[in-house]
Copies of this chain bind each other. A is one copy, B any other.
Amino acid sequence: MAQKPSIPKGTRDFSPEEVAKRNYIFSTIKSSFENFGFQPIETPSFENSSTLMGKYGDEGDRLIFKILNSGDYLSKADEKLLVDKNSLKLTSQISEKALRYDLTVPFARYVVQHQNEITFPFKRYQIQPVWRADRPQKGRFREFYQCDADVVGSKSLVQEIEFIQLYDDVFTKLKLEGTTIKMNNRKILSGIAEIIGASDKLIDFTVALDKLDKIGADGVTKEMLSKGITEEAIEKVQPLFNFTGSNLEKLGQLKEMLATSDQGLDGVNELQTVVENISELGLKSASLDIDVTLARGLNYYTGAIFEVSAPKGVKMGSIGGGGRYDDLTGIFGLKDVSGVGISFGLDRIYLVLEELNLFNAVELPKPKVVFLNYDENSSLLALKALKKLRENNIKSELYPDLGKSNKQQQKQWKYVVNREIDYAVIKIENEIYTLKNIKTGEQSECNLNELLNTLK
Instruction: Please list the residues of chain A having a beta carbon within 8 angstroms of any beta carbon in chain B.
Output: 1-8, 11-16, 19-20, 23, 31-32, 34-48, 50-51, 54, 62-63, 65-68, 70-75, 77, 79, 82-83, 85-88, 90-91, 94-97, 99, 109-110, 112-114, 117, 119, 121, 123-124, 129, 131, 133, 143, 151, 154-156, 158-159, 161-162, 165, 169, 277, 280-281, 330-333, 365-367, 370, 373, 379-380, 383-384, 387, 390, 393-402, 414-415, 418-419
Contacts and interface: CB of A to CB of B under 8 A. Distances in A.
Contact of A387 (B72, B281, B370): B281
Given A34-B365, A40-B20, A87-B74, A332 B11 contact: no
A75 B85 contact: yes
Given A5-B113, A280-B384, 6 more contacts: A37-B396, A39-B365, A45-B45, A45-B129, A156-B400, A281-B383
B281 A6 contact: no
B82 A397 contact: no
A110 B44 contact: no
Contacts of A42: 13-14, 19
Contact of A400 (B46, B151, B398, B418): B151
A333 B383 CA distance: 34
A332 B2 contact: yes
Given A70-B133, A277-B383, A3 B50 contact: yes
A49 to B, nearest CB: 9
A44 B13 contact: yes
28 contacts: A5-B109, A5-B112, A5-B113, A5-B332, A6-B113, A7-B43, A7-B109, A8-B44, A13-B114, A34-B395, A35-B393, A35-B395, A36-B390, A36-B397, A40-B365, A45-B129, A65-B68, A67-B67, A68-B95, A74-B85, A82-B83, A121-B415, A156-B402, A158-B379, A158-B400, A159-B400, A281-B380, A281-B387
Contact of A15 (B1, B41, B331): B41
A392 to B, nearest CB: 9
A130 B449 CA distance: 43
Nearest to A11: B44
A165 B97 CA distance: 42
Nearest to A90: B74
Contacts of A40: 16, 19-20, 23, 365
A358 to B, nearest CB: 20
A6 to B, nearest CB: 7
Contacts of A398: 158, 162
Given A44-B12, A395-B34, A94 B123 contact: no
